[in-house]
Structure 1
Amino acid sequence: MSSHSDAIKFAYWVPNVSGGLVISNIEQRTGWDIDYNRKLAQIAEANGFDYALSQIRFTAGYGADNQHESVSFSHALLAATTTLKVIAAILPGPWNPALAAKQIATINHLTNGRVSVNVVSGWFRGEFAAIGELWLDHDERYRRSEEFIRALRGIWTEDSFTLKGDFYRFTNYSMKPKPIEPLPEIFQGGSSRAARDMASRVSDWYFTNGNTPEEIRKQVDDIRTKAKANGHKVRIGVNAFAIARESEQEARAVLDEIIAKANPEAVQGFADQVKNAGKASPEGEGNWAKSSLEDLVQYNDGFRSNLIGTPEQIAERILKLKDAGADLILLGFLHFQEEVEFFGKRVIPLVRELEAARDRELVAAE
C-alpha cells in the first residue's frame, strides 16, 4: 500500500513581491509586507500546506514595485512557523555558491532543517542589466546553474571541496558546520530542453509551468527517462493558479474578471521579456513558448492547470495531475490568506480522500 509520503504535496507562492500573482487591476486582498506574510505562513501550515516558495526580484517590473529579498524573508517565515518548509529563490550571478551554501546551512541549523532552495536561472534581462550582471546565453545560464548546484552539494557534503569549473572555482574548501541531514532540497524551474536536462542530472525537484495533464506527462516522461539513465531521481512540481469557489460559475466569473481587468501593457512587456528569453534556447522554446496573452496574465501559466471550480472539481483535477506524474502542486491565489485557508479546509481533505480510496483499490487488486 502506498505510504503517506506518496501523498501529493502542496506549496504556495510567497507574495514577498508587490502586485500579487496576476498582472491585473482586479482587487487582490494580498499584502507583500512581513506581517501579512507571517500570518499567511501560519494559516498555510495549519491547513495542510507543506512548502512556501519565496520569489527573487531585484528590480520593479510587471506590477512588482516592491520586492523583499528572498533568503532573509524566508528565514522570517521559518521563524514564525514550526513545520512549514520554505524554499528560498536564489539567482546565480548575484549569489556566489560559497555565500549561498553558508547562508542556507546556517538557516538550516536555525530552523531544524526546514529551508530549501530554488535555483532560478534568470529570464528578466532588464534586471541583469540594471544591476550590472552579465547576461549569458540561454543554455549557458543553465550550465552555470548546474555548476552552482554541484558546488552547493559539494560544499555541503565534502570536507575538502575542489571544483575547477567554467563559472566557479573552489580549492580545498571546507565549510563547517555542514547542514543537518537530510540536506536542503534543491528545486529549479524551466520548461526548455536545457532545464529538463539539468534537472535530470542534479536537481531534487523540477518546477514546470501550468499545463494540461497530457502535456505535463510528456515532460515528466522525458525528465524521468533521462534521470534514470543518469542514476538520478527527480520529483516534479506543477504551477497552478487556484480559484476555488462554491460553484463553478462563481469561479469562472472570477477568472473572466481577472482577464478583463488585465493590464495589457504590462502583460505584453512580460510576454516580450519571457519569449525573448525562451527564443534564445536552441530549440526556440522556453517556459512560455505556447502561452497566449490570457495565459500570461498569470506569471507561470497557472490558468492552464485548470484548478478553477468547486472544491470537488479541483480535487479530481489534482488527482489527474498526480497521475500525470506531479508530486507537488505550487499554488497562486488572488486573496492569499483567505483562499489558502479555504483551499486547505475544503480541497486538500478531498484530495486525501481520493488518494486513500485509490490506495484501497490497489490493495484490493493485489
Structure 2
Amino acid sequence: MPPPTRTTRMQNANRFKLGLFGMNCSGSFATTAPERWQAGWEENLEAARLADEAGLEFLLPIARWLGYGGQTDRQGTTFETLSWASALLAATDEIVAFATIHVPLVHPVFAAKSIVTADHVGSGRFGINIVSGWNVEEFAMFGVQLRDHDERYAYSAEWVTILDKIYAETAPFDYHGKYFSLKNVEGKPKPWGNGRPLLMSAGSSPAGRAFAVNYTDCLFMVITEEDTIASDVAQVRAVPGADKCGLYASGHLLCRRTAKETEEYYHYLVREKGDWEAAEQIIAKRAAGGSQSLSPDIMRRMKERVIGGGATFPVIGSYDEVAEKFLRLSEAGLDGMALILVNYVQEMPILRDEVLPRLERLKLRAGHKTSETR
C-alpha cells in the first residue's frame, strides 16, 4: 500500500521535529526523587494537551509489560499503547500519537482493526511504531519464544505485508507465508483518508536498519556520542532507499536557566536519588534479549545515562546550550527527537517557553500559535 499522503504535523516544514517519549510508562528517569513521573492517566492527558498546545509533532509510547525492578520499578506501571493513543487522539487537536506494537505478540488481523480504529479517532493523526522484540521475560509472559535476532525482522516484514494487504484489498483474500497462513481475510473500514498510518521502527543492526528502510517511513537511531552522529547518519543514508526515510533519535532532556543550575539538579536526580539497582536490571534484561542497539559493556559505561533516560542521548544544559545542541543534531542529519522528561507536566513549560522560542530563532522550527492566540 502507498505511504501516507497526509498533512499532519509529522509532515510539516519544521527542520527539527520534537515529541514526547515514553510518558505512558512510570519512572522515565530511574530516580527516587518525589517529582518523578508516575504515569497516571490524568497526568498523561495533561501532558498530551500541553504538548499539543505547544506545537510538538508527536507522542511516542513504549510498549512495556514488565518493569525493571529496583526501588522504583522503572516502567513497571504502564498503559497499553493502542488504547492510550486512541484516547489521547480523542482529547487533542493536532498532535500525532503513535502506538508501539510488539508484532510477535499481536496478530496482524487484530492489529489491523485496532490500528484503523485509532486512525479514524484521530482523523489520520495516528502512527505505528513496529517493535520486533528483545525482552525475554516479557515474551515468556505471553508464552512466545523470542526468535534469533535477524529472523525477528523477517517476521516483522511478513506482519507488515499482511497489514498493508488488509488495507489495500477490497475483497477477501488468503495469505500463505513463512509465519502466517490466513484464510478469507478482509478489513473494513480502511484507514482514514488516503494511504495508511505512518510507520516507524528502531534499529541499529544491519537487519534492523534494512527493515526500517524497506518497510517503514521513519527510522529511530540509537545515538551515543555527539561527535559520531554525522557519520552514523551517513552510514544509514548509504542503505538503498534510506533517502525516503525520516531519521530520528530518542533523548532525555534536562535543562535549567544556567549550566550550574542544570548540573546541580542532575546531581540531585541521578547521583543522589538515582536507582542504581534498576539500572543494573535494565542492562541485564537487554543483554539477555540479545539487543544490538547498545552492548551491555557500553551500557555499563553509560550507567548514569541509563538512570537518566534508559541510555537515550543526553540533552542536558542551560536553555541556550540545549537549543545549540538541537541545532548540531539537525546539522548532523537528524530530522527530530523523541524526548524523555523527568516529569512531562512540570517540565513542559520549560520546553514550551524557553527551548522552543530559541529553536525558532535558530530557524529549526516555525512559530506556533496557541489556542489563545489563534
TM-score (norm 1): 0.87
Q: Is 1:354 aligned to residue 333 of structure 2?
A: no
TM-superposition CA deviations, 1:190-214 (whole Å, max 9, x none) = 3222211211211111112343344
Question: In the TM superposition, what are the counterparts of 1:149-298 in structure 2 within 5 Å?
Answer: 149-160=160-171, 163-171=175-183, 173-180=185-192, 181-228=194-241, 233-260=244-271, 261-278=273-290, 285-288=292-295, 290-291=298-299, 292=301, 293-298=303-308
TM-superposition CA deviations, 1:227-251 (whole Å, max 9, x none) = 338xx72111111100110011111
Structure 1 residues 349 and 69: CA distance shift in structure 2, 3 A: same
Structure 1 residues 258 and 347: CA distance shift in structure 2, 3 A: same
Q: After TM superposition, where is structure 1 displaced by more than 6 Å over at least 4 residues in a row?
A: none
One-letter identity of the residue aligned with 2:327: L
- Inter-partner Cα distance in structure 2 for 1:278 and 1:219: 21
User: Could you tell me which of 311, 315, 324 is aligned with 1:307?
Assistant: 315
Structure 1 residues 84 and 94: CA distance shift in structure 2, 3 A: same
Taking only aligned residues, the RMSD between alpha carbons, in angstroms, comes to 2.3
Shift of 1:6: 4.5
TM-superposition CA deviations, 1:224-278 (whole Å, max 9, x none) = 221338xx72111111100110011111222222321222222111101112333
TM-superposition CA deviations, 1:131-175 (whole Å, max 9, x none) = 212211111222222222222222222335554322233456332
| Higher relative contact order, chain-length normalized (CA < 8 Å, sep 6+) | 2
Aligned to 1:130, the other structure's residue is in SS state helix
Q: Is 1:147 aligned to residue 147 of structure 2?
A: no
Structure 1 residues 85 and 356: CA distance shift in structure 2, 3 A: closer
Partner of 2:29: 22
Q: Is 1:34 aligned to residue 44 of structure 2?
A: no
One-letter identity of the residue aligned with 1:86: A
Structure 1 residues 356 and 220: CA distance shift in structure 2, 3 A: closer
Structure 1 residues 255 and 53: CA distance shift in structure 2, 3 A: same
- Inter-partner Cα distance in structure 2 for 1:243 and 1:34: 23
Q: Is 1:345 aligned to residue 345 of structure 2?
A: no
- Inter-partner Cα distance in structure 2 for 1:299 and 1:167: 35
TM-superposition CA deviations, 1:53-107 (whole Å, max 9, x none) = 1221222334133222111011111111011110111111221111111111122
User: Could you tell me which of 141, 150, 155 is aligned with 1:130?
Assistant: 141
Structure 1 residues 191 and 102: CA distance shift in structure 2, 3 A: same
Q: Is 1:326 aligned to residue 334 of structure 2?
A: yes
User: Could you tell me which of 67, 89, 109 is aligned with 1:78?
Assistant: 89
Conserved? CA contact 1:209–1:300, under 8 Å: no
Conserved? CA contact 1:239–1:300, under 8 Å: no
Aligned to 1:211, the other structure's residue is in SS state coil
TM-score (norm 2): 0.85
Shift of 1:125: 0.7
One-letter identity of the residue aligned with 1:76: A
Structure 1 residues 147 and 312: CA distance shift in structure 2, 3 A: same
Shift of 1:38: 0.8
- Inter-partner Cα distance in structure 2 for 1:46 and 1:108: 21
Conserved? CA contact 1:214–1:324, under 8 Å: no
Conserved? CA contact 1:113–1:182, under 8 Å: no
One-letter identity of the residue aligned with 1:49: L
Conserved? CA contact 1:159–1:173, under 8 Å: no
Unaligned 5+ runs, structure 1: 280-284, 359-366
One-letter identity of the residue aligned with 2:321: Q
Partner of 1:363: none
One-letter identity of the residue aligned with 1:173: V
Conserved? CA contact 1:44–1:341, under 8 Å: no
- Inter-partner Cα distance in structure 2 for 1:357 and 1:96: 39
**Number of positions where the alignment pairs a residue of Structure 1 with one of Structure 2:** 346
One-letter identity of the residue aligned with 1:297: I
Percent of aligned pairs with the same residue? 27
